[in-house]
A = this chain, B = another copy of it.
Amino acid sequence: MSTRLGDLVDSLGGELIGDPALLIDGIAPLDAAGPSHITFLSNPKLRAQAAATRAGALILSRADHEKLQVYAGARVLTDNPYACYARAAQHFVALNALPVVPGIHPLASVDPSATVAPTAAIGPGVTVESGAVIGEHCIIGAGSFIGRDAQVGAHTLFHPNVSFLAGCRIGQRGVVQSGAVIGSDGFGFANDKGRWIRIPQTGGVTIGDDVDIGASTTIDRGALDPTVIEDGVKLDNQIQIAHNCVIGAHTAMAGCVGVAGSAKIGRHCTFGGAAMVLGHLTIADHVHVSSGSLVSRSISEPGQYTGFYPLAKNADWEKTAAVVRQLDGMRDRVRELEKQVRQLLGDKDSSSRD
């Protein structure tokens, strides 16, 4: 199915320079786009590629518009070409999506006391326990589990094989990828003479609107109070969020990040892949942690933080790692040298002064 370019720009926002009657039937990258595609330029390094694109329409900034003279197709001017492209892509995916058939699959197990909205689609092998509430236009993928009294907001999509355990809540327009586990027990044990005594975890997980949760990501329920994921948070795959964390609104975490218990993370933060945050820390808004970095203390100031050992050829690493192990001694040697040199310089000065 295709869309008139004028209608598309009306829905996306932006200024159209070109023929509103042009029919667009999808998005494509600069080098693969043809006359019925819309594409975008957000990285100035790709300006030459944009000049050569065969795309019917190009989303770009006003600055790039002025610098790009060759391209002859239609132009969509916007402050944020990448976001505009994202919305265009959403438009065409929705346009071409298979219709969702509402209803409960005969191989699903839905407790009579659960509330499933009539527009929701419950796949085969799904279990919905007592008291759970599934909102309008939700899709619950095959094999997923919705525990007792859990709540799933309208237009939220669970891919297949999600575990969403008792008492957890997620808001509207969420997307949860396959294998994610929400509401597993927090890791809480008291040590008694070498044995671990399990501490029951009875808080849930409270997730806001417009939250994305990646494949095999795990979010533990709180001990007494819930673990909280605020609106607009984006979590990639294989992330671990421990009990009683608070992840501030619009924070994004790349794959394999881990956050230990009771950490409070601010809004609009980003975490590179495999970054780790220790427990009971507080991280301010707008903090950005690089991949592979371990956050071992609270961070009160916005900015970019990093801490990983630089990669080297193995032989070189062996040499530098050996020195790292002796750094404390090396500092002492430098101090001693400074003392000796001061003495020598003093001698010299005094001898000069003689």
Contacts and interface: CB of A to CB of B under 8 A. Distances in A.
Interface string A181-223: 1001101111111111111101000000010101110101000
B218 A179 contact: yes
Interface residues of A, number: 129
A184 B190 contact: no
A1 interface: no
A123 B256 CA distance: 31
A326 B310 CA distance: 11
A349 to B, nearest CB: 11
A70 interface: no
B344 A348 contact: yes
Interface string A317-354: 11111111111101101100110110011011000000
A93 interface: yes
A190 to B, nearest CB: 4
Interface stretch (A14-22, A61-69, A132-140, A296-304): A296-304
Contacts of A256: 240, 256, 258, 276
A187 B340 contact: no
Nearest to A98: B148
Contacts of A325: 310, 312, 316, 320
A268 interface: yes
Interface in A202-258: 202, 210, 212, 214-216, 218, 220, 224, 232, 234, 236-238, 240, 242, 250, 252, 254-256, 258
Nearest to A141: B145
Contact of A334 (B159, B328, B330): B330
Contacts of A48: none
Interface stretch (A3-11, A114-122, A160-168): A160-168
A326 B321 CA distance: 11
A334 to B, nearest CB: 6
Q: Specify which of A216, A250, A254, A318 lies most central, judged by the most chain B CB atoms within 10 Å of its CB.
A: A216
Given A83-B197, A125-B143, A306 B295 contact: no
Contacts of A202: 89, 93
B311 A127 contact: no
A214 B320 CA distance: 34
Q: How many monomers of this protein are in the complex?
A: 3
B310 A321 contact: yes
B327 A260 contact: no
A145 B160 contact: yes
Contact of A324 (B142, B188, B310): B310
A110 to B, nearest CB: 10
Interface string A80-101: 1011011101101100001000
A304 B187 CA distance: 21
30 contacts: A80-B190, A86-B198, A90-B198, A105-B109, A142-B145, A147-B160, A160-B165, A178-B181, A179-B181, A179-B184, A181-B237, A187-B234, A187-B255, A218-B238, A240-B255, A240-B256, A256-B256, A272-B278, A291-B294, A292-B294, A296-B310, A305-B312, A305-B317, A308-B309, A309-B321, A310-B321, A310-B325, A312-B325, A316-B325, A324-B324
